Amino acid sequence: MTRGRFITLEGMDGAGKTTHLEWLRARLLARGIALTVTREPGGTALGESLRGLLLDSHEPRQPETEALLMFAARSEHIARVIEPALASGQWVLCDRFTDATYAYQAGGSGMAWSRIAELERWVQGGLQPDLTLYFDLTPEVGRSRTRQAREPDRFEREQLGFYERVRAAYLRRAEEHPDRIRIIDASQSIAEVQVELEKIILSI
């Protein structure tokens, strides 16, 4: 059986990931592709519990603690959801994956990049997304959009400088992995972004 494709969506809150993920889901299903749609942190019962701890708590934490919780959730997610789906020939669409850990815990919070790389090798082995869609947006626009849409979670309450570092880390990851990560200008209209996405999915 042909292994499925693993596609992740990344970007700061306000970049439109959820909207574009739903559009991608519909377009791939229309092509007859079997899909699993999931998210991080989350995707399993344990992962969703850890998501609540990570996003809803107001208590400050060490970035290392956050990264360990993220990778604990990711280990279950890979074993119980991602790998079984890929092995069965399904494609997996995932809202965030390890690039987000580099962006938020290393870039935003200052954890050593090399420590996350160690956890990545340990938990993931050789597993990497086949394609990552990074929706790039300035922190100012992202914050404006999220404040209009909903009550902010713990990460969304961070200061502007935090999000400038997050964006810089995402761009660093894109520079390190140009064959995997596609940068999409998320300041465009939804229709303009979806024109770009259409071209990308027709090429995979």
Cβ atoms within 10 Å, residue 162: 17
Q: Which two tokens stand for residue 76?
A: 């279950």
User: Is residue 198 pLDDT above 60, yes or no?
Assistant: yes
Taken in order of first residue, the domains within the chain and their CATH numbers are 6-202 (3.40.50.300)
Q: Which whole number is the average pLDDT over 85-111?
A: 97
Q: Which whole number is the average pLDDT over 131-149?
A: 82
Tell me 44's DSSP state: S
User: Is residue 74 pLDDT above 80, yes or no?
Assistant: yes
Q: What is residue 110's predicted lDDT score, i.e. its pLDDT?
A: 95
Name the burial class of residue 191, with classes exposed (0-12), middle (13-18) and buried (19+) by CB atoms within 10 angstroms of its CB.
exposed
CA R_g for the chain:
16
Question: What distance separates the 2 farthest-apart alpha carbons in the chain?
Answer: 48
pTM > 0.85: yes or no? yes
Percent residues over pLDDT 70 in the chain: 92
User: CA–CA separation, 99 vs 122, rounded Å?
Assistant: 15
Q: What is residue 195's predicted lDDT score, i.e. its pLDDT?
A: 94
At residue 56 the predicted structure's pLDDT band, cuts being 50, 70 and 90, is confident
At residue 57 the predicted structure's pLDDT band, cuts being 50, 70 and 90, is low
8-23 pLDDT, tens per residue?
999 998 889 989 999 9
CA atoms within 13 A on the CB side of 103: 21
Q: Which of 169, 159, 93 is nearest to 136 (CA)?
A: 169
Query: Which contiguous run of DSSP H or E holds residue 181?
Result: strand 181-185
At residue 97 the predicted structure's pLDDT band, cuts being 50, 70 and 90, is very high
